[in-house]
Amino acid sequence: MGLWAKFKNTTLYKSIYRNEYPDTPRNQVLVILNSLVLHLHPVKVPRRAVRVSYTWGLGGLSLLMFLILTVTGVWLMFYYVPAVPDAYLSMRALETDVIFGQFTRNLHRWAAHGMVLAVWLHMVRVFYTGAYKPPRDFNWVIGVILFTVTVLLSFTGYLLPWDQLAYWAIAVGSEMAGSTPVIGREARMALLGGHTIGQATLVRWYTLHVLLLPLACIALMAMHFWRVRKDGGISTPIPYEEDEAEARAEG
């Protein structure tokens, strides 16, 4: 008996891999179901639902942008100082003193633009294919909240460099919130952490940007993907029978 075959009989191997080699349909299904990472994806996906020209991969691209933003964002947190006298200088220092500093900062910024664009186009795709209709109506609602969170993430991040652009963007944003009927004054106070833009504002927006909104986004995305599975997978562009006939003709 070879060394590998002997190893496959050990308790150590069996404690990690509980299935036989995936060379039969049954074992292939078991491998997917028993893996923490792989089981997130359905075992079988109808070919008609994953046509690139149907989804354009836009939901996946939105997720990819979010992952790039998380990795580059955590890296930026090693250098960024959320204090009024230091924020701008720490960003300047990052560009000149830190290896790949400017590159990573730009990657974070471009991925942020990319995510807003991808999420928006994904929403347009869902709308034009009618995929918002029942049973996917609740997932559309989760999507609208995800879109709002994406825009808020972008806006709160815009403030953090504490340059003139950022400062006046908050001035405009908080004035807009201040014009809300009935609760305008309270909304403005909540955003600024006081009557004027200052340290309290920076800490609030920093916490929203690096903690609260990303956590909300992760929780909503988990629900969103779960619902895609529960609603019967991605909606179908053409009737099942037509697709099967096409698949048979293609061999």
* DSSP class of 17: -
Interface with ligand HEM includes 146 (CB under 6 A)? yes
Cβ distance to ligand HEM smaller for residue 131 or 202: 131
What is the spatial distance between Cα 246 and Cα 19, in angstroms, rounded to a whole number? 34
For position 160 contacting ligand HEM by CB under 6 A, the verdict is no
State which amino acid sits at residue 55: T
Q: Is residue 237 close enough to count as binding ligand HEM by CB under 6 A? A: no
**Residue 210 has what DSSP assignment?**
I
Distance between first and last Cα of the chain: 40
Q: Which amino acid, 28?
A: Q
Q: Does 221 bind ligand HEM (CB under 6 A)?
A: yes
Q: In the range 52-81, which residues lie near ligand HEM by CB under 6 A?
A: 55, 58-60, 62-63, 66
112 binds ligand HEM (CB under 6 A): no
**Can residue 197 be called a binding residue for ligand HEM (CB under 6 A)?**
no
Indicate the residue among 79 and 120 with the shorter CB distance to ligand HEM.
120
| 90 touches ligand HEM by CB under 6 A | no
Contact 150/143 with Cβ under 8 angstroms? no
The CA distance from 62 to 114, in Å, is 8
Owner of token pair 């933003």:
69
Of the two residues 52 and 249, which places its CB atom closer to ligand HEM in the complex?
52
Q: Tell the smallest beta-carbon distance from residue 28 to ligand HEM (Å).
A: 22
DSSP 163: S
Tokens 């992952």 correspond to 67
Q: Which residues bind ligand HEM (CB under 6 A)?
A: 55, 58-60, 62-63, 66, 119, 122-123, 126, 129, 131-132, 136, 139-140, 143-144, 146-147, 150, 221, 224, 228, 234-235
